[in-house]
Amino acid sequence: MTQLDLISEMMALEPPVYLFGGFAEDAVLGGKVSRPHQDVDVLIWLDELAMRIEQVRAFGFHSFEVRFEAAPGHPLAVGSESNGLDLEFCIGERDSLGRGFFYRPSMAGLQRCWLPPDALSYPTQNLEGVLVRTVSPLTLYQVRTALAEVFGGLRPKDRSIQAVLHERFFAGLTADDLAPRVEAAGVSTQSDHPNA
């Protein structure tokens, strides 16, 4: 199985998952894989994590680990490797109205970063013959911006992709216009969800 094969299998899951990260950027920026990617990233919801782990056992992914969490019980990335492939679940949460967000740690305490309203409504894309659902370009841009503070800034390749996304989709808008909506979380940092 190749990374594109894995993406194809992921796109067949129900309820839908959404391609994220480098492969999603490739899909929205031209439909070609632009460079080697370390992993396949997909956006899932925290309340579906156990179901998703069970679903991908069929593809050989059996042992998952939390790779990064904003606070206990609030993982941002959970991943597994199998047969030379790395699958990473990028995990969002939903409020009582179904609006998506994720938590990030900050010097000011835990913060809630809201996903934009169009996060999951971007049209299906063709990535080298594989039809994929991706998060929206604005989501790709804002999540990277929001997490840059956590990881010490943008890497050179991230700055390049941000510039291309800005030019292609947001010409005429400023960095302030595109800033993610962030607020104090006001939640307990005690674990209330089982880890993967």
Per residue in 143-166, pLDDT tens? 999 999 888 888 898 999 999 999
pLDDT recorded at residue 192? 38
**Tell me, what's the pLDDT at 187?**
56
Residue type, 182: V
Q: Where are the domains of the chain?
A: 3-136
**CATH number, span 3-136:** 3.30.460.40
pTM: 0.91
How far is 173 from 53, CA to CA, in rounded Å? 39
